[in-house]
Structure 1
């Protein structure tokens, strides 16, 4: 340990950071330290060290001393907007400086007039650095003691603080640099002590800004240079390169399966289905009023107004994002947008140039939205609406206005040019039968919210929708993707019958609640939920789930720079179990590799990752990761209801190895251990695996992929991938037969398919694990059939030649048995 004192680098009043008029400094987001309200005009070095960086605007400088302590000195608040005016750098990056050496000279009068404040934060960073004492609330002169530091020293006086690394890579992402990998880059960098940029052509973007990264428009095959600087520069470089160079073919939804051509009724307006369902109602236009900015009252007042508006919206978004479900996720994404440093910096620059606060935020978000709309990737383009939404919310907060939603009569078909997520959240969803938009896209956040609320939506109806007047009777078909104004009596009658039938089925499903269900002849079938979080588990509990049949633990391991420790894992698993009290929770061991890379595991690049190191193979190759996860599970308070499921088991030896690890870690403790059946080898060898297993669970998605040799992420063969193919069904039948008395469940997508579930039960499956939203409907389906009828149905399916024939049989069975 060593102790030393930093001197005051500038004359003035020393004050705590909490008194700085900038939340980033006042709340400690930038780091620890203090600030000085300057009376002098020269910034000096507070210690011996080396200059690391000088900002292009010359208002900020970073230093590093011999112990690895890093210092940031930021002259003024929002002084970057001065654009070098009044600042003169007296040193350059790489220079060695002594205590008291002058670093930057500045025009104090200009700073006071044009910046938000002249306050100069002094920030301390570095491993093992503790501020023992701050000399604040006093006048200081250059050279006076300012902060006393305690530093843990390792004996190595070399420093990597100034390390700089660059690497040229080619983007291997199938869909280019879109929102998901951009978010992974930002998340990875956030956990590291490094800064990084991406360069392509004449364009550069900070790796700390997902908006800036998306604006680069990087596509598959694009050449890009990664520049990283700081103590963790090498790690940052590897993490960013791993994201850019690892194909993620399965990251996007598979292309839609071809459907029969739909013949539209005469007079129908064709659009694009964004949320399924059928609706009858009365048209009502929503004409939104965009905020109208006022003239600037001066840069100082407008900066303050901008910060107040941002803070108000931040608080509201925090509340919006604290709930459950898809809406919470959307508003969490909006919080990330609002926290983006490039957005704030650009808005401040506009204020400094003479814009009012409201005009600045609107123009900034409009510009950034235009960049996204120019993308060839529809999913990126549709995120532009989120930027506009955030900008309008901040502008309304600044102006003290609101974009209040009108009251709507029950049965309204809402018509709009477009709809933003915040507007959707403010609507009375119970009054809306359907939504029709002139613009919009099927993957926009508002479409996701509409589908989650069960409101049919059709988008991209274009100008033809403008001809529909308020109060016009309307049919909206979210399944076929069209709207029909003033439908005939026959059309209305047929649509009403379909809606009534669906409504009755949903009511019966909800009425089942938490009750256990059986077939009509008394065979118990458990309906459990696939979960990825405690919020999912809470939703499943409310829907009446019999437990969790699949807890995906990889959500803890992905999109981060280091693996979660045992305490973090235990806390996450315990939260899920608390949300499903007294019910079984099946915790799947880490399932990464293939389409789910975790860069910090240092998995090798593979030509065919789907057939490489993934699933249980990763855990067995990294016993430290396996032991940490097993220990976290074994320390759960309600161990009697916890079950462990091993992914991608291909042989009995793999499951036996995990069983041996459990025995080694907790001798004499028994916890149910099961295997996922996801390969033909596992299905045919189910009897061998069952000798070591308490249960088997079929992952139908991967089983279909490996059986049919059709990659889910390959658009040219994805349409072939159907779990109802007779070959897949025969392997499921073999699994159930060979498992003997070992229970078999299905946790893949096939379990939630209403055409497939009756066949699965007929083949011998006794637990179906489905998304929380399908719990009630699946329970209702179970209670509608006798087991002997399902067995006959399943045997008929096994005798067919194709998935299409099986689906035709399943549809006919459903129609014949409809209530």
Structure 2
């Protein structure tokens, strides 16, 4: 092109279909804009056309995507469907090649619409702005568009250097002291990078003579910042002050890490093991010897290698999206590493120099690991395992393999390794794993967190001598005493067996007693139910001693599919769950999607704050056809005597009454004479404050502490920058729960808790003291929860609850609860 560079380019629809915001794509890599801003189209024709004039940068061999450089320099990625790379090119025909010039509307890729739709996860096609320095403005979404119809425009942003000469730019800095117990390690670093997402300023952290890009987890780890270290937060840009303040306040708040006494930093040592997860194990040794997969040194061409790396990063990121429990926090830190700008920049330099994507990613990971080791900080060096874990996962994705395979375990295996990666742990057969001992590693490593969460005894930093233990050697691993005994004598085995037997007997007693109705020490009846999300969960709940289901999350039927489930499919699933529960009560929550749980077949307009938008019962009221169909399926699948129905996201009686009328209408339509209870979830502060009013008409109240906490504390539980503020034992949340207990009691209704707090035995006396008479927990927590409740006295619980509501912080509430239980 000659003359001046075009500043603004209009984009037209690349094919006919439904225009949607990027958030509607059921893949977090696209929906969370990890690859960049953009939009999506659900196509109704099989030809992808150029959305604007430009040059083709790359088309992968599978022809499922194309990268286009527009005339203003912006780069667009058009990716037909989701997980279509797995089709290996079947159904796709590329009509262009790299380096070719195209005009708007020119065919880029032809594909078999029906065949691809049947084989792919979804047909919805993201169009992503893959380069910085540009702004995308999207026209109205949620509508059908024809190919060639205007949908967006991309404009060049003002150059950074030029903008600094204007009055809109500012420079700002603050000095703060790091109070987090372990300094800035992986999870705090990920929270810092997340906190900067809303800002455009360039922000850096300076510690001594070292400086790091605050948007790079790897760079932050390389600073080696420990507790009580002073750091300067500097910013340059139009919103520098706000960006610096956000990071500084996050650091001052403790970076979301638990406070308290800092344990001595364990060096990776050889003089003795360190307890990473308590417990005792008796078993046989099995050595895990890991090996890296070979990758080619040189690549085909830089564009293809970069596209391959991007696809591999996206695949691994997608796998992290399903993490739950302890693994979820680890996945958050791993996602930050996968999108780390320094790692990606270094890998890009190697690719540009002709290296393969696998070689480039391994080199970038190795360079980052070396920088972390250079800090000399043992706690930070535990993060090297995370880099190695992701290195192997990304390379496995590039090579199309499963990576290294973990060995099959015999019952009673004590696994020994130089170190163990989180992904390796998650691949192990937990039922056969008795314990773990690693030569290296540390007690705050991510695999240690996973082991503790799973109740697997683990020793770390045991030294290289453990790697010489032969397979099948008898061992006693006493993590509590931080010892490992090789080929123990009969007396040692007998003593360890006696201890292990006593622990198992106590657990067995809890399980056996869990099948009896739960009563407190003073005789007060407390019902212990289970939260369910499948037929399998129902079976596990019955085996664990659940007295019913306090929450059936029906959205598991609606998510990760292209069309809503029909009435018969829903009825059959509800019926099987009811049958599995026997005659135990089944509380079915109506569809709770929207917000952080979108579905592709219910296109909704872009919501600036989905958590406060069209979700839960609000969406059901907006789509009464779906609500009626679900009510019919529930009433047909669950006997009236067993059935309870619960509505999510109620704010007041205006949300409840229309559903009550609809339920009565459906009952009459089906000829069901017996009444069916209709209750509500208390998830909003409004509903908690109006609990007395609501309870006069609703049949029961059940508190969802997860959402109630985020709304009360104004902290999005899906936002890593503020999620550390979320604590359901916050006194403000407890005061709202107290209002629910009072309101239910005054109306003669029962009040329960089905949120995450119900599974915590430490919270049980407080919740009971606030008027809660039903706790719905995870199936695994039920035996221990019942055992804890049986030791409680109501008068003591009421006194404890009063003190908790008057406390100043969640930490104080926990201290009160521990003191009372002791």
Shorter-chain TM-score bucket reads 0.5 to 0.7
Residues 424-469 of structure 1, C-alpha deviations (whole Å, 9 max, x = no match): 878694562335475899999x99996786324578x6x9557664
8 Å contact kept, 2:731–2:809: yes
8 Å contact kept, 2:80–2:125: no
Cα gap change, 1:718 to 1:660, in 2 (>3 Å): same
Matched ranges for 1:367-516 at <5 A: 383=393, 391=401, 405=408, 412=414, 414-415=416-417, 417-418=419-420, 429-430=431-432, 432-436=434-438, 454-457=455-458, 469-470=468-469, 505-516=506-517
Scaled by the length of structure 2, the TM-score of the pair is 0.55
Looking at structure 2, the residues matched to 383 and 526 of structure 1 have their Cα atoms a distance apart, in angstroms, of 44
Looking at structure 2, the residues matched to 721 and 553 of structure 1 have their Cα atoms a distance apart, in angstroms, of 25
Looking at structure 2, the residues matched to 611 and 623 of structure 1 have their Cα atoms a distance apart, in angstroms, of 20
Cα gap change, 1:163 to 1:662, in 2 (>3 Å): same
Given the alignment of the two structures, is residue 776 of structure 1 paired with residue 783 of structure 2, yes or no?
yes
SS, match of residue 640 in structure 1: coil
In the alignment, which residue of structure 2 is the partner of 1:732?
A: 737
Q: Among residues 795, 802, 808, which one is paired with 2:802 in the alignment?
A: 795
In the alignment, which residue of structure 2 is the partner of 1:554?
A: 555
Looking at structure 2, the residues matched to 564 and 760 of structure 1 have their Cα atoms a distance apart, in angstroms, of 37
SS, match of residue 645 in structure 2: strand
Cα gap change, 1:434 to 1:654, in 2 (>3 Å): same
In the alignment, which residue of structure 2 is the partner of 1:53?
A: none
Q: Among residues 73, 78, 83, which one is paired with 1:209 in the alignment?
A: 83
8 Å contact kept, 2:550–2:586: yes
Deviation (angstroms), 1:754: 1.8
Cα gap change, 1:805 to 1:627, in 2 (>3 Å): same
**May I ask how many residue pairs the two structures share in their alignment?**
552
Cα gap change, 1:626 to 1:697, in 2 (>3 Å): same
Given the alignment of the two structures, is residue 786 of structure 1 paired with residue 793 of structure 2, yes or no?
yes
Matched ranges for 1:225-624 at <5 A: 229-231=111-113, 239-241=124-126, 257-264=257-264, 276-279=277-280, 284-288=285-289, 383=393, 391=401, 405=408, 412=414, 414-415=416-417, 417-418=419-420, 429-430=431-432, 432-436=434-438, 454-457=455-458, 469-470=468-469, 505-624=506-625
Looking at structure 1, the residues matched to 706 and 47 of structure 2 have their Cα atoms a distance apart, in angstroms, of 39
Cα gap change, 1:681 to 1:190, in 2 (>3 Å): closer
Cα gap change, 1:382 to 1:506, in 2 (>3 Å): farther
8 Å contact kept, 2:24–2:598: no
Looking at structure 2, the residues matched to 238 and 441 of structure 1 have their Cα atoms a distance apart, in angstroms, of 44
Deviation (angstroms), 1:608: 1.3
Cα gap change, 1:632 to 1:261, in 2 (>3 Å): same
SS, match of residue 740 in structure 2: helix
Deviation (angstroms), 1:620: 0.3
Looking at structure 2, the residues matched to 242 and 501 of structure 1 have their Cα atoms a distance apart, in angstroms, of 60
Looking at structure 2, the residues matched to 761 and 390 of structure 1 have their Cα atoms a distance apart, in angstroms, of 52
Cα gap change, 1:405 to 1:526, in 2 (>3 Å): same
Residues 205-244 of structure 1, C-alpha deviations (whole Å, 9 max, x = no match): 764537779xxxxxxxxxxx99784557999998344999
Deviation (angstroms), 1:534: 0.5
Deviation (angstroms), 1:178: 8.3
Deviation (angstroms), 1:279: 4.0
Scaled by the length of structure 1, the TM-score of the pair is 0.55
> Which structure has the greater CA radius of gyration?
1
In the alignment, which residue of structure 1 is the partner of 2:637?
A: 636
Looking at structure 2, the residues matched to 742 and 237 of structure 1 have their Cα atoms a distance apart, in angstroms, of 45
Cα gap change, 1:611 to 1:163, in 2 (>3 Å): closer
Looking at structure 1, the residues matched to 574 and 813 of structure 2 have their Cα atoms a distance apart, in angstroms, of 39
Q: Among residues 23, 26, 29, which one is paired with 1:177 in the alignment?
A: 29
**Uncovered stretches (5+) of structure 1, i.e. residues with no partner:** 1-161, 183-187, 214-224, 294-324, 330-363, 397-402
Given the alignment of the two structures, is residue 683 of structure 1 paired with residue 688 of structure 2, yes or no?
yes
Deviation (angstroms), 1:198: 3.9
Looking at structure 1, the residues matched to 367 and 109 of structure 2 have their Cα atoms a distance apart, in angstroms, of 24
Cα gap change, 1:240 to 1:675, in 2 (>3 Å): farther
Looking at structure 2, the residues matched to 274 and 385 of structure 1 have their Cα atoms a distance apart, in angstroms, of 32
SS, match of residue 614 in structure 2: coil
Looking at structure 1, the residues matched to 194 and 509 of structure 2 have their Cα atoms a distance apart, in angstroms, of 31
SS, match of residue 432 in structure 1: strand
Looking at structure 2, the residues matched to 370 and 742 of structure 1 have their Cα atoms a distance apart, in angstroms, of 60
Deviation (angstroms), 1:721: 1.3
8 Å contact kept, 2:415–2:433: no
